[in-house]
Chain A
C-alpha cells in the first residue's frame, strides 16, 4: 500500500525557516517525481513545485510565489522528499501536501499545517 506522510509543520515567525518531510512507502521512491502542494484556509489548492527523479536529472520547478525561497530535495535511500522553506511570510500559512508524480498526482499525504505568525 502506497503511503505518504508529511511532517515538520508548526508555528513559525515571519522571516524564519522550516523544513517539511514527506516519508514514503509502498513503492519504488526513486522511480518517481515528487511534488508539493499547499492549501491556505478556505482557499484552492496551489501547486508549490516538484522534483524529478534521478533518471531525469533531479530537476526542480517552482511556483512563482515561492521561487527563490523554497527548495525541494530528496533522499532516495530513505524514501523521503523535503521542502525547505526560507524567509517565510504570513501568506505561506497553509496545509502542505506532498504527492507522487509530476502531472498525474496519484497519491497524496494527509498534509501538515504550517502557520506563519508573530
Chain B
C-alpha cells in the first residue's frame, strides 16, 4: 500500500482537461511544498514533470500544472493530447530523510 493515494485511472478526450489527485497527510503533502510529479510511458523511464507543487522544469509544456490544497496535491493536464497517455506518479517530502510515493494513475486519452 502506497503512502500517497492516487486514483488508479483517469481519462479524458483530446482537448479536454483532466485532474489527477494525490492525497497524503499533514506530515508530507500538507506539511511541505515539496510535491513532485512524474510521467511514465510504457517501457520507458519516468520523466520529471512538476516540482515544488507547481513548478515546471524547462521543456515541460505549460499544459501540465500542479497545485495543492491541504493534504491533497493535484496534477492538471489541459488540452489533452494522445501522447499524454501514460502513468503518472506523485511524490512528497515527509521530513528528515523520508520521501513518500503514490501508487500511480493510468491516464487514458479516449
Contacts and interface: CB of A to CB of B under 8 A. Distances in A.
Interface of A: 37, 44-47, 50, 52, 59, 61, 97, 99, 102-111
Interface string B17-58: 000000000000000001010101000011110011000010
Contacts of B99: 47, 50, 102-103
A97 B36 CA distance: 17
A48 B63 CA distance: 31
Contact of B40 (A45, A99, A102, A103): A45
Given A44-B103, A102-B99, A103-B91, A109 B45 contact: yes
B46 A46 contact: no
Nearest to B87: A44
Interface pairs A-B: 6 shortest CB-CB: A103-B93, A61-B97, A108-B45, A44-B104, A104-B51, A103-B99
A17 B56 CA distance: 39
Q: DSSP majority for the B interface?
A: strand
B98 A61 contact: yes
A116 to B, nearest CB: 21
Contact of B36 (A45, A103, A108): A103
Contacts of A44: 2, 87, 89, 102-104
17 contacts: A44-B87, A44-B89, A44-B104, A45-B89, A45-B101, A47-B99, A47-B101, A52-B97, A61-B98, A97-B45, A103-B36, A103-B99, A104-B34, A104-B48, A104-B52, A105-B91, A111-B45
Contacts of B57: 106
A110 B45 CA distance: 5
